[in-house]
Chain A
Amino acid sequence: MSKLIRMDHTGHCTLAEWTPDDPAAVERAVEAFRSELDRGYLAMVSTGPGHAEHVRELPLDAELVIMRLPISGG
């Protein structure tokens, strides 16, 4: 089961869960994913120890997709 989560004031919340063979769940996840992108969030996927990747489309095969806010110099 893949998960789309967003880091927020609650620690994090699950926005969607899906398996690639469930089209309805995939559609809901893609919708939630796009909605977060529209709100200015960035999507990250871990790609191994010490590596992460910024993604612009929901990777259906990823176990965990994390939505984060942009960073800036302080």
Chain B
Amino acid sequence: MAASNRFINVSGCSFTKKVGGSVTINTVQSVALGKRGKEVQASGDADFFPTLSVTVGSAPQVTVQHQNHGLLNTLDEKIVGSSFVFTANDATNGTGTGAVTYTLSNCHVVSHESNAQHQAVGSCTLTISAYSSDGTTSPLALTIAA
């Protein structure tokens, strides 16, 4: 079946540590991926609006919401990884045609927070950033099966 160009669910979410192997992140509720452009603005004198506004860089970041509180210590703020991977499943074909796998190389855990709520399943929010090996190539890669 052709790709639906819509995505439902996330699969294969894992964080590979530089030391200590791969950690599977299960119970994933959502993954938010942003390229996070870095903005620089300038103004002076009596300016009210910036007279200069440019995007000077980009620092991709991923935020994962899951419900496995056992991962809080496994993936804490000191953890440096070689890659973080997840697949956005195609709405009709699952991990087949239409699914896109994202890989964030040179990654590290920025924060991992837990959240408890009244009459709801508590969740964890894992934030991951990455750096580029050469300053030119994005640490974020998209892959699909050819």
To the question of whether A and B form a pair in one complex, the answer is no
Could you list which residues of chain A lie within 8 angstroms of chain B, going by C-beta atoms? none
